[in-house]
Chains A and B, each alone.
Chain A
Amino acid sequence: MSAFRIRCVAVAALFVATAATVAFADPPPAAQIKPRQDKLRDMGGALKAITDEIKKGRIDWDNAVIPNAQTVKDRSVYILNWFPKGSGPEAHVKTYALPAIWQKFDDFTKQGKQLQADAAKLQQVANAKDEAGLKAQVQTIGKTCKACHDPYRSPDYEKDNEE
């Protein structure tokens, strides 16, 4: 094979690799905002479904608690992927994510990992149909949500009526 042909193949390979990278690369950060909100809302809805069961005082494990704990757990696994750099207010898409997320990304990551651990535990107590454990874990996970929402989410979300 001549040096020229090798060079041609190399260039072609580079083109393919670049094209593939562009095609399969993460979508631009701004595109994360809407799906991120939808998924966080799913988690809120799932937690409501679980707290509803606790309030009723007669828990429907199979139809309500277990599937919703599964939702929380499944979503939590990906939560740290939803906040790429550039998906804050600078994206010019409506978001309550504060710049503090990216300024203190280590702390934010720590909080996200805490949620993942709590959500896994939530699923565990749900699957075990452990009522006392469920009540305690809902409290725990609530504190984790709040610990992250207080510093990293704009309180303006209460004022707007767009959800």
Chain B
Amino acid sequence: MRWLRFAIGLLIALTLHSLLDSFYPNALAFFNPYLILVIYYAMGGNLVGAIFAGIAAGLVQDAYSGAIFGLHAFSLTVIAYIVAYINSRLVLRGTLPFGACLFGGSIVNDLVIFIMVNILLKQRIEMFEQEMIVKAIFTSLFGMLVYQLLTLFLREEPIEAARRPAY
């Protein structure tokens, strides 16, 4: 059931990606629907599930963007693992913690992509700090709005998972 909900979320993210590309091709420079989906899933605290969620969402994003295939899968898997790890030890619930995770996740996502591209490609790319911050802000705001809507209208919480005790 959890995976079904994630798959539906992934289809919605891809639909959003397609729609935005049709009307405003630069939209993904400002916000990332796949990141929102992965962090939402990872906040359940299930480490293994989060890893696979990161891979699935990242590969779909890679297939429909011009980046190196596997690049977004790599970065989203790293973020999913970090968020799930934190949430397996701390109970983070509510819109603000979700927004904070999205903000941090967006920054980490761009940093991982920047590092991996500079390692793998002969041609260096520059890092745009302003674009990174703007993207983090917009992704957080949009993600928090989605979270609020899910909580208010569907009484939805981040996909639950068994928590491990803190050792």
Q: Do A and B bind each other?
A: no
Residues in A lying within 8 Å of B, measured CB to CB: none
